[in-house]
Amino acid sequence: MLCVNYCSRVRGTSLKILLQRCRNLKCLLLQQTNLDSESVQAAEWEKAEQLQVGAGCNDVNDCKISVPLFQELDITATDLSKECLLDFLPRIPAIRFFLHLESLLLLF
């Protein structure tokens, strides 16, 4: 879990690197940050996964499977555009929990 709630300096410019390097990241809390829509869209959300060896495999190279890890996101009180939300949310493969109160009105 990474929590940077209420940190006004967080703009999302490092999200792409964060998702690439933090392979065990499951939860990202970004309430009241200054996220930039373009930076959020540029992140590779669909690649937030970890390679694991399948059960019963003898050779590691033959039995690698991708397991989506990133599951929880809270972007309450951010100024992300509707277009941004519609672009990046479907690219999170295993999202279980999403909170952005303003987006509930935009998406439905």
Burial class (CB in 10 A: 0-12, 13-18, 19+), 51: exposed
Among candidate residues 49, 55, 28, the one with its CA nearest the CA of residue 94: 49
Which of 43, 36, 49 has its CA nearest to residue 75? 36
Question: pTM of the full predicted structure?
Answer: 0.75
Inter-residue contact 2 to 28 (CB < 8 Å): yes
pLDDT digits over 10-19, tens only? Answer: 999 999 899 8
pLDDT at 107: 47
d(CA 17, CA 81): 22
Residue, of 76 and 68, whose pLDDT is higher: 76
Please check the confidence at residue 61 and state whether its pLDDT lies above 60: no
